């Protein structure tokens, strides 16, 4: 397994802390629907930094990448197909008109 230098770890940790403050500040601004999106994007960036460097995925085998990919893909299936139901429901009131 590849040795990552201490400096890298400190830099990553520092940027994670900066992103945390950024998350908080972004939440103070009214972006409407986009508040959620921005928060999730920042969280995703933080998560990727952790996976890539703290968890050494950047230097890991293709197999590890496949496992990570499968995990995310399946999470995506769970979300998209469940929401495909909730986001396309016709409100009960409009059904009553028929």
Partner 1 sequence: MNSEITLERPEIEPINYLNARHGIASWLLTTDHKRIALLYMISLTLMFFVGGFFAILIRLELLTPQGDLVTADTYNKLFTLHGLVMVFFFLIPSVPTVLGNFILPLMIGAKDLAFPRLNLLSWYLYLLGSAFIIWCLATGGLDTGWTFYAPLSTAFSNTQVIKGITGVFIVGFSSILTGLNFITTIHKLRAPGLTWFRLPLFVWTIYATSMIQVLGTPVLAISLTLIAVERVFRVGIFDPTLGGDPILFQHLFWFYSHPAVYIMILPGMGVVSEVIPTFARRPIFGYNFVAYSTFGIAFFSFLVWGHHMFVAGESMYAAMAFSVLSFAVAVPSAIKVFNWTATLYKGSISYDTPMLYSLGFIGLFTIGGMTGLFIASLGVNVHVHDTYFIIAHFHYIMVGGMVMAYFSGLHYWFPKISGRLYPEGWAKLAALIVFVGFNLTFFPQFVLGYMGMPRRYYAYPPEFQVLNVLSTAGASILGVGYILPLIYMIWAWKFGPKAGNNPWGATGLEWTTPSPPPEFNFDITPVVTEPPYNYPTVDDDE
Partner 2 sequence: MQKAEQFPELQYRDLDQQREAAELGMWIFLTTELLLFGGLFISYAVYRHTYPEVFAEASRHLDTVIGTVNTGILIISSLGMALAVYGAQTAKRKRLLFGLIAAIVFGTAFMVLKGIEYYHHYLNAEFPGLRFDYSVPDAKGKQVFFFLYFAMTGLHAIHLTIGIVLVCIILYLAYRRRFSPDYYTPVENAVLYWHFVDIIWIFLFPLLYLIDVHK
Give alpha helix (H) positions in 1-98. Answer: 6-28, 34-49, 62-86, 92-97
CB 51 within 8 A of CB 68: yes
Using CB under 8 A as the binding rule, the residues of this chain from 72 to 91 that contact partner 1 are 74, 77-78, 81-82, 84-90
Q: Which is nearer to partner 2, 5 or 94 (CB)?
A: 5
Burial class of residue 7 (count of CB atoms within 10 Å of its CB; 0-12, 13-18, 19+): exposed
Q: Give the single-character DSSP code of 32.
A: T
- Indicate whether 11 belongs to the interface with partner 2 (CB under 8 A): no
84 binds, among partner 2, partner 1, none (CB under 5 to 8 A by kind): partner 1
CA–CA dist 42, 50 (Å, integer): 13
What residue ranges bind partner 2 (CB under 8 A)? Answer: 1, 3-6, 9-10, 12-13, 16-17, 20-21, 23-24, 27-30, 35-36, 39-40, 42-43, 46-47, 50-51, 53-56, 60-61, 63-64, 67-68, 70-72, 74-75, 78-79, 82-83, 86-87
What residue ranges bind partner 1 (CB under 8 A)? Answer: 63, 70-71, 74, 77-78, 81-82, 84-90
């Amino acid at each position: 397994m590849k040795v990552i230098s201490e400096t890298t770890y400190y830099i990553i940790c520092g940027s994670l802390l900066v992103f945390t403050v950024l998350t908080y500040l972004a939440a103070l601004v009214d972006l409407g629907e986009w508040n959620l999106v921005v928060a999730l994007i920042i969280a995703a960036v933080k998560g990727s930094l952790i996976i890539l460097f703290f968890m050494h995925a950047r230097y890991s085998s293709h197999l590890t990448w496949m496992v990570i990919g499968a995990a995310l893909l399946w999470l995506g299936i769970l979300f998209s197909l469940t929401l495909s139901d909730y986001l396309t429901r016709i409100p009960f009131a409009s059904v009553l008109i028929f």
